Amino acid sequence: MDKNTINVAAVTDKYNINYSDFTNFLRENNLNFQEHLFSITINVSDVEKYVEDYKNSKTLKLEREKIAKLEEEAKIKEEKFKSMQKAKALSEILITSGFNFDGYKIKKYSGYISGDDCVTIPRNNFFGTNKVDANLCGALVKIRRRAISELKEAAYALGCNAVIGVDFDYMVLDPQHASALTNTTVYEPYVICVTANGNAVIIEKIDDKSAVFLANNKNLFYFYFGDIKRRESSLDTRKTLAPLFL
């Protein structure tokens, strides 16, 4: 090693930097260095510049990592907030088997939607320890609830806040197949399916002023037309009685 070069190990010791990181920096940036059998050397004239660039790159890397961490945290918070918003919106979606809601008006019909779910029910075994009827009752409750959840998800995806005309369709499958090995029929667990159907809509609450206005208009309507009918009736009576006074 001549007097114009210096061992990288000596440089890292002098400037208190990591040897592996610094050598990787030299390689990644295609800087001028000499690799020997047991050491790496660089030109003395390049030491200060390389060390300064290395420190700047480390600072920049730390800043990027910090920014990436902050962005990741912000993304997690945003996803959590959206999840909470969605959960709140789903819980507020109204469902009815009818076609309107008291105190609300329908602003938009978004179409027919459905939610599905299914469950398998074990058959009674030889000793009768599996009770199909008992299992079925509990399973129906669960799959109906999950079907309604799916129905709400479908309504939410359309930007709706209610579902009208909701009903349920049920289907029972009795899967079985012939066994070539035993030459018998193999009966598999029952499959119970349920579909919740309805029409997704956007509803808007009727405020008190609108309700009062409509109620007043309704009364005015009746009073107005009632008065017209009374006047017509009085006029007809006068027409009928007029000849008697001639």
Structure confidence by residue, pLDDT tens digits, 62-93: 999 999 999 999 999 999 999 999 999 999 99
* pLDDT tier at 126, thresholds 50, 70, 90: very low
In this predicted structure, the answer to whether residue 169 has a pLDDT above a threshold of 90 is: yes
CA 163 → CA 100, 127, 154, distances in Å? 9, 45, 10
How high is the pLDDT of residue 4? 85
CA 231 → CA 40, 234, 236, distances in Å? 115, 5, 9
How high is the pLDDT of residue 244? 39
Q: Are 199 and 163 in contact (CB under 8 A)?
A: yes
How high is the pLDDT of residue 54? 92
Picking from 56-65, 181-190, 225-234, which range would have the lowest pLDDT averaged per residue? 225-234
Reported pTM: 0.59
Picking from 151-165, 195-209, 212-226, which range would have the lowest pLDDT averaged per residue? 212-226
How high is the pLDDT of residue 11? 92
Residues 99-105, mean pLDDT to the nearest whole number:
93
Rounded CA-CA distance 186/179 in Å is 6
Q: Which is higher by pLDDT, 151 or 241?
A: 151
In this predicted structure, the answer to whether residue 228 has a pLDDT above a threshold of 90 is: no
Q: By C-alpha distance, which of 51, 48, 36, 27 is closest to 2?
A: 36
How high is the pLDDT of residue 23? 92
How high is the pLDDT of residue 137? 79
In a 13 Å sphere around the CA of 227, the CA atoms on its Cβ side amount to 5
* pLDDT tier at 117, thresholds 50, 70, 90: very high
Structure tokens at 155: 């309504």
Q: Which is higher by pLDDT, 173 or 222?
A: 173
In this predicted structure, the answer to whether residue 159 has a pLDDT above a threshold of 80 is: yes
Q: Which is higher by pLDDT, 137 or 78?
A: 78
Mean pLDDT across the chain, nearest whole number? 83
